[in-house]
Structure 1
């Protein structure tokens, strides 16, 4: 199962990197729970695929389309969890951010049912998003 879950995570990150919203819709469970870190306008728990799509859309709008995961370093799986070490960044106005992070995905029956995100520099991410 861990290999299948790693493949699902890999497909998820490819869809994120290419902006393939149809593929994302197939991978995210309708009742997904998304844990966005920090203390900024996007932080908190977002429940449901529609809420996650709204969150991602608002993040892209705030970053004028520049927010991106540019590197997936490693994918590691254990049972129904997949951890990914990543690098992400974005720009808006005179602000920019660029940092490593960890995304932790719970995969159940071939869909991502829960997601926790961790930032390498939470204060810098909070400052960027406001």
Structure 2
């Protein structure tokens, strides 16, 4: 039996992986709150689709277009929350990162309303993105 929130999360991650920004935009609530971890230039709370897309665009620019979620290991649901165990990578010049993480999505009425990200190696991610 499928879980509708897992289906939404799966569609979101497939869209992110394929670069389908239209679908990502359809799935993110207009008032989304995105909690980016760490102590780097992207860390903090980003509120609204415009702020989230702006941050993601800057991440792609900083990583020379290489930042990617290359694997979704598993998706687990508990009510309106979906936890995704993922692996992500990025390269910038001679610097690279590759690590596991967890994305926690709150889904309400078919939209992702809040996102918390957890990095397996936060210091390495902070070093990659810069402060």
Which TM-score band applies after superposition, normalised by the shorter structure?
over 0.9
CA distance in 1, matches of 2:45, 2:108: 19
Tell me the SS of whatever aligns to 2:106: strand
Q: After superposition, what is the alpha-carbon deviation per residue over 1:49-93, rounded to whole angstroms, capped at 9, x for unaligned? A: 110000000000000000000000000000000000000010001
Q: Distance in 1 between matches of 2:25 and 2:125?
A: 26
Aligned residue in 2 for 1:17:
17
Partner of 1:51: 51
Gap regions ≥5 residues in structure 1: none
Q: Displacement, 1:38?
A: 0.4
| Corresponding residue pairs, total | 129
What CA distance in whole angstroms lies between the structure 1 residues aligned with 2:118 and 2:69?
13
SS of the residue corresponding to residue 33 of structure 1 reads strand
1:29-108 equivalences in 2 (<5 Å) = 29-108=29-108
Give secondary structure in 1 for the equivalent of 2:66. Answer: coil
Aligned position for 2:125: 125
TM-score, normalised relative to structure 1: 0.98
| CA-atom RMSD in angstroms | 0.7
